[in-house]
Amino acid sequence: MNEKPLSHQKKRTFQPEKLSPPRDFSKPSILLNNNAESAPIIIEIGTGKGKHALSFAATNPDRHLIAIERTRNKFEAFAKQASQQDLDNLTPVHADAIAWIVHAMASNSVAQIYILYPNPEQHNPNQQWLNMPFFEFLLSRLQEGGEIILATNIETYMDNAEQQADRVWRLPAVRQQVPADSQRTHFEVKYLARNESCWQLTMHKPTGYQTRFDEWTASE
């Protein structure tokens, strides 16, 4: 168990009950299957045109990736490619990730979460992922021992994320520089081709980690 109250419990509390379901919301069939032997669930937030999602699903047939993208034109480009590749372990979702996760995901149900090259929100730092109250809810959906992988080319964004992971969220985390030959996303390819540095922060949820949303469930 946590040795002392988490710092995030002093922060403004996220209010999931105030979020309406996304338009035309329905849970994917993979989430309706209660079989304990079903594939581990992976979530990608902000999948863009789907370069990482398509590659991940193709190379990890034993895992099921739910890839969420809010922007219509990016999602349509991604969905078209996903349809062509016909990967059974990939579920494209067109929605705001926060509202969708609130209404779709059960507590302690996600093995891994990818947030690759999010909007740096340099003029609105409160909207950076680890600065948001929602991050506590996101952690409640993550399994014990699960991990969140964040990548960015903005060093100050990574500095803040690393600090927040340690001081606020109390998460063990490893910061690494992304290899120059990595090609996970279109942004990553572009940044590395310009000889920019990119960083990755891998955060793990410890055994016994508690949030204020561990028992919270969206009403049907």
From first to last of its 220 residues, the chain has per-residue pLDDT tens of 444 445 555 567 899 999 999 999 999 989 987 665 679 999 999 999 999 999 999 999 999 999 999 999 999 999 999 999 999 999 999 999 999 999 999 999 999 999 999 999 888 999 999 999 999 999 999 999 999 999 999 999 999 999 999 999 999 999 999 999 999 999 999 999 999 999 999 999 999 999 999 999 998 6
- Among candidate residues 76, 131, 66, 147, the one with its CA nearest the CA of residue 104: 66
What tokens were used for 119? 């909007």
In a domain, residue 22? The reply is no
Query: Which residues constitute the domain of residue 108?
Result: 38-204
Question: Whole-prediction pTM value?
Answer: 0.93
Q: Is residue 25 part of a domain?
A: no
- Closest among 116, 115, 82 to 188, alpha carbons compared: 116
Residue 101 lies in a domain: yes
Q: Total domain count for the chain?
A: 1
Domain CATH code at residue 194: 3.40.50.150
Kindly state whether residue 12 falls inside one of the protein's structural domains. Answer: no
| 185 found inside a domain | yes
Domain membership flag for residue 1? no
Task: Tell me if 78 is assigned to some domain.
Answer: yes
Do the Cβ atoms of 114 and 172 come closer than 8 Å? Answer: no
Output the CA–CA distances (angstroms, integers) from residue 3 to 67, 114, 144, 166, 211, in the order listed: 35, 28, 16, 14, 14
Residue 161, domain member (yes or no): yes
